[in-house]
Amino acid sequence: MAVNLDKEAYYRRIKRLYGNWKKGEDEFGKVDAIVVSVGVDEEIVYAKSTAIQTWLFGYELTDTIMVFCDTKIIFLASKKKVDFLKQVAVTKGNENANGVPPITLLTREKNESNKANFDKMIEAIRGSKEGKVVGVFSKDKFPGEYMKSWNDTITAEGLEKVDISAVVAYTMAVKEDGELGLMKKAAAITSEVYSKFFKERVMEIVDADEKVRHSKLAESVEKAIEEKKYLGGADPSTVEMCYPPIIQSGGNYSLKFSVVSDKNHMHFGAITCAMGIRYKSYCSNLVRTLMVDPPQEMQDNYNFLLQVEEELLKELKHGVKICDAYNAVLEYMKKEKSELVAKLTKNLGFAMGIEFREGSLVLNSKNQYKLKKGMVLSISLGFADLVNKEAKKDEQKKYALFIGDTIQINEEDAATILTPVKKKIKNVGIFLKNDDEEDEEEDGDDAEELLGKGARSAALLADRTRLLGKNEMTAEEKRRAHQKELANHLNEEAKRRLTEQKGEQQIQKARKSNVSYKNVSQMPREKDIREMKIFIDKKYETVVMPVFGIATPFHIATIKNISMSVEGDYTYLRINFFVPGSSLGRQEGNIFPNPDATFVKEITYRASNLKAPGDTSVPSTNLQNAFRIIKEVQKRYKTREAEEKEKEGIVKQDSLVINLNRSNPKLKDLYIRPNIAQKRMQGSLEAHTNGFRFTSVRGDKVDILYNNIKHAIFQPCDGEMIIVLHFHLKNAIMFGKRRHTDVQFYTEVGEITTDLGKHQHMHDRDDLYAEQMEREMRHKLKSAFKNFIEKVETLTKEQLEFEVPFRDLGFQGAPYRSTCLLQPTSGSLVNTTEWPPFVVTLDEVELVHFERVQFHLKNFDVVIVYKDYSKKVTMINAVPVNSLDPIKEWLNSCDIKYTEGVQSLNWTKIMKTIVDDPEGFFEQGGWSFLDPESEGSGAEEDSESEMEDETFNPSASEEEEEEEDSDEDYSSETEDSNYSASVGSEEESGKDWDELEEEARRADKESHYEDEDTSAINNSNKKRKVRPSASSSAPSKKKRRS
């Protein structure tokens, strides 16, 4: 198969090389020709000669000599390589070849001196400019007879050699978009291998207290790049290590990339790791320090190192001299922590590309080269020989901190990090100790020195075995003990909080008074009004009606509803008004500015349907028109009022600061929920300086600012049909004429609906192919979303962190109408795949109560009570009972108090009681009334439930629910017993069919009489809120619990 050469890239790059040469800056001004000779040497990994070949052609060409003259280019190579190079040597039809000197291809003769070919090249060098000085890469020395004879020829001709490594490196340092893409991919693979393999492996080693040598761990990292799962879909044959991974710990540190991992065992202190991965010849680099139980001083030094890196990134911009950036960082350190300047690494990084380290572009105090947009650098900063004052062992006394990233230089903004692996203390610190372990260690220090680590482990194991026999608590007991502590803390904290809030009384809003006309002059002078007809003034939204012969205006807001009916020869128009005592709606309350005034409740007008002689129209026409127009005006008014109500309480947001940089993190082809319009629309989500902007294909824009996001949740597509980015906001935003506190962006990853009519076969090739495509699509989308999230977190300096739900801790429940999977995250409980979404912030939760927890029920309900007692409690219904223990374990780990009971409580009434009299509530024991194990809880609950029975008047829907509950709780037992009794009696009696039919007839009659009796009882008991079915079929819940 013929190997293709990227001609366009070759022409672009050779033009750039010749362009810089013609400018004549630095060493380029001294040379008359450039000679690049590459031999064969397996040991040489990085060389400028091979780098320029890879840059121009995409491949290394061994045993090839290239001579770049002023007016021509000569390549001497073997026959196969000459055939490959013919792709750029033949310039016919290639417009981009304009301005590039023509290429002469010479075929190398095997086993001969190649004198004729050498003479042709020397002749070309002599004819280029003055023909005296050749530019070479003096460090590149390839072995072999062929290379030796060529070098001898140049020396024999008396040509002067000048090293042009630095100027060629500077020419190649600015990367094209294609090169940047490869380097970003290399950086992404490095990040993936570090996060998913190395970091996890170190955690395992620390957790299991393993003894692993640095060299063995480094070897395992090298093997990891052979596994596809760490390569983000890249071909393993295109991936290699830039250098063997360098892992150091235990006091022996050398913060360079030329060292190798030693054979010492990894020590659990400061563990530095440097690794770089090369993808399609382009390099990347990453350095991190993991710390096991770091003392505070180590943490402070590490945080300062992160600040120093931030300063360096700010300084590295287009047009800045390397030495100036270095000196600015040094000045910052002298000002903040001057004692650490001596500990800093000698240089802060270097340029990187096809070669791992570009020696002429090192970040130090002497380098005069200017940075250019598109350069990629490996920055690496560290503090060496730091002393741990708290150390007890020799290997703990000295430590080093080392961090590094692959970065890209931008025009005006700070440099972009291409390896966005988190490096804050919480991401790299491994904290093991608790108080008990510290005590154990202090007691056992001397023993450890005498016995060694193995003996100490055995001693500790024996101690633990003894403890287990004596007083080791089970998980349930530990949970209860912890819950008891939380209960005490909860009541104290809630009492304090409510006492502070007592002074803040909520002001109840009065109903808006709408005035039709402020003075008589605004009253319309229409003919209909003079004729005592109903007139609708659309401008002032007023209905002018004749009342006792006087035209009286009523604002449209005062009209509750209108109805029109035709009875015989007359049409009736009935208008009902809002008055004190009538319901205004759920949230409006019956509040009028002047409730003691006299109100008109309704007015009815009558008009004839018969046309009298001389009339131009039927009298009832006026009523019909009035009915229609009032309806229109009322609809318009209500729509406007609804919009104003939506806007009420909206907090004004800052303006979005648009970042015009094209490299902004961006996700395309996303849907937004809730919809902007009636139909769902696709669009793109882009991260800017201080927020996100979603732009739909229609051009609608929705801005979400970072500082308004309470929870940013990423729901992967594992086990779901959609992949979601969900934002739960602190303050609602307006779009689509409504206010929203939850906004999400999603895309579908598979067929949400399946065509059942289609013939399905287990081994159908199309189906198998479709499944494979869906798997690939899921993987691709997941990678794209993760990449977007990492970039956003880097852009916001991790101020915005995305939470990922823990699917393993999820449980089924119905917070709204349908059952869905509720999953905890680090700070919330969420379901984002169904709409409406469900998000509960754990920090706002006071306690969680489980209702209807009984052995014979399959489900129970979860009630979430918030710290803000004025907020309505959240109910999650129909949670499977097998999820009870996992939920308790999770809540306990989050330090959230939970209680359980068999009853369903009236939470609206309970919360109102607490808010009205917080002192009284906490004097009576506070939330302990929910806990069945608390002292005196039975008596308290009895009295409370009695009080509820007397005063609580449930609505019709609540009555139905309670009746269903009571049926579910109690009727099953009586039914079972009746059924078994009847079966028994039938078996014992042995009656014939006639007798049985007669018995059934009598039973039917009796049941008919019973129905009549019960209906009479129900009618007599309607005024009292008593349910005969519950009281007659089983004892009340109150008695049953006591």
Residue 524 has pLDDT above 80, yes or no: yes
Average pLDDT for residues 475-501, to the nearest whole number?
81
Contacts of 588 (CB under 8 A, 6+ apart): 511
CB-based contact 401:248 (threshold 8 Å): no
pLDDT digits (tens, 9 = 90+) for 49-88: 999 999 999 989 999 999 999 999 999 999 999 998 988 8
Residue 526 has pLDDT above 50, yes or no: yes
Residue 914 has pLDDT above 70, yes or no: yes
Q: Transcribe 401-414 into DSSP letters.
A: EEEEEEEE--SSSP
Q: Transcribe 869-882 into DSSP letters.
A: TTSPPEEEEEEEGG
CA nearest to 37, candidates 138, 169, 110, 123: 138
Structure tokens at 839: 């998000």
Mean pLDDT of the chain: 81
Whole-angstrom CA distances from 388 to 202, 297, 397, 588 are 22, 8, 5, 66
Q: Which of 150-154, 898-902, 1033-1037 has the lowest mean pLDDT?
A: 1033-1037
Q: Which of 81-85, 354-358, 509-513, 667-671 has the lowest mean pLDDT?
A: 509-513
Inter-helix orientation angle 7-23/48-57, to 10°: 130
**Which residue is listed with tokens 């004596």?**
470
pLDDT recorded at residue 357: 93
Each as own residue / partner, the long-range contacts of residues 84-91 (CB below 8 Å, 24 or more positions apart, any chain) are: 84/3, 84/5, 84/57, 84/59, 85/5, 85/57, 87/4, 87/5, 87/7, 88/5, 88/7, 88/10, 88/11, 88/57
Cα separation of 384 and 253, whole Å? 7
Q: Transcribe 322-389 into DSSP letters.
A: HHHHHHHHHHHHHHHHGGGGGGB-S--EEE-SSSS-EEEEE-SSS--PBP-TTBEEEEEEEEEEEE-T
Amino acid at 490: L
pLDDT recorded at residue 966: 39
pLDDT recorded at residue 497: 78
Structure tokens at 306: 């992160």
pLDDT recorded at residue 972: 39
Average pLDDT for residues 224-239, to the nearest whole number?
85
Cα separation of 599 and 573, whole Å? 19
Cα separation of 869 and 548, whole Å? 52
Cα separation of 879 and 850, whole Å? 10
Strand bridging mode 429-430 / 286-292: parallel
Q: How many helices (H) and strands (E) does the chain have?
A: 27, 39
Residue 645 has pLDDT above 80, yes or no: no
- Count of C-beta atoms within a 10 Å radius of residue 879: 22
Each as own residue / partner, the long-range contacts of residues 474-479 (CB below 8 Å, 24 or more positions apart, any chain) are: 475/889, 479/888, 479/889, 479/892
Three-state DSSP class for residue 226: coil
Query: Does 475 or 567 have the greater pLDDT score?
Result: 567
Residue 950 has pLDDT above 50, yes or no: no
Q: Which residues of 1017-1035 are buried (b: 16+ CB within 10 A; e: fewer)?
A: eeeeeeeeeebeebeebbe
CA nearest to 200, candidates 225, 226, 221: 221
pLDDT digits (tens, 9 = 90+) for 983-1035: 343 344 456 777 787 788 888 876 655 454 444 444 444 343 333 333 333 33
Amino acid at 749: V
Residue 962 has pLDDT above 80, yes or no: no
Residue 1037 has pLDDT above 50, yes or no: no
Cα separation of 660 and 412, whole Å? 11
Percent with pLDDT over 70 in the chain: 81
Query: Does 45 or 891 have the greater pLDDT score?
Result: 891
Contacts of 288 (CB under 8 A, 6+ apart): 194, 199, 272, 273, 402, 403, 404, 421, 423, 428
Cα separation of 520 and 605, whole Å? 25
List, edge to edge, every strand of the sheet that includes 859-866. 874-880, 859-866, 845-851, 897-900
pLDDT recorded at residue 753: 54
Structure tokens at 669: 């082809």
Q: Which residues of 960-993 are buried (b: 16+ CB within 10 A; e: fewer)?
A: eebeebbeebbeeeeeeeeeeeeeeeeeeeeeee
**Which residue is listed with tokens 């208008």?**
575
Cα separation of 854 and 1018, whole Å? 31
pLDDT recorded at residue 433: 53
Cα separation of 910 and 906, whole Å? 6
Strand bridging mode 845-851 / 897-900: parallel
Cα separation of 343 and 382, whole Å? 8
Structure tokens at 752: 């949400």
CB-based contact 541:555 (threshold 8 Å): yes
- Count of C-beta atoms within a 10 Å radius of residue 662: 6
Cα torsion angle, 718, 720, 723, 725, sign: negative
Cα separation of 822 and 1016, whole Å? 47
**Which residue is listed with tokens 């374990």?**
889
pLDDT digits (tens, 9 = 90+) for 838-896: 999 999 999 999 999 998 899 999 999 999 888 999 999 999 999 999 999 999 888 89
φ, ψ at 820 (rounded to 5°) = -145, 170
CB-based contact 553:516 (threshold 8 Å): yes
Residue 921 has pLDDT above 90, yes or no: no
Three-state DSSP class for residue 826: coil
pLDDT digits (tens, 9 = 90+) for 805-833: 999 899 999 999 899 999 999 899 999 99
pLDDT confidence tier of residue 490, bands split at 50, 70 and 90: confident
Cα separation of 646 and 636, whole Å? 16
Cα separation of 944 and 948, whole Å? 6
pLDDT recorded at residue 441: 44
Contacts of 1037 (CB under 8 A, 6+ apart): 902, 903, 945, 966, 969
Three-state DSSP class for residue 895: coil
pLDDT digits (tens, 9 = 90+) for 382-411: 999 999 888 888 888 899 999 999 999 998
Cα torsion angle, 359, 364, 369, 372, sign: positive
Q: Transcribe 637-694 into DSSP letters.
A: HHHHHHHHHHHTTPPPPPPP-----TTS-EEEEEEEES-SSSS--EEEEEE-SSEEEE
pLDDT recorded at residue 587: 44
Average pLDDT for residues 208-220, to the nearest whole number?
92
Whole-angstrom CA distances from 473 to 468, 478, 479, 921 are 8, 6, 10, 34
Whole-angstrom CA distances from 63 to 43, 69, 141, 347 are 15, 20, 12, 36
pLDDT recorded at residue 918: 84
Each as own residue / partner, the long-range contacts of residues 216-223 (CB below 8 Å, 24 or more positions apart, any chain) are: 217/245, 217/247, 217/261, 217/266, 218/244, 218/245, 218/246, 218/247, 218/260, 218/261, 221/193, 221/197, 221/245, 221/275
Query: Does 654 or 907 have the greater pLDDT score?
Result: 907
pLDDT digits (tens, 9 = 90+) for 696-733: 999 999 999 999 999 999 999 888 889 999 999 999 89
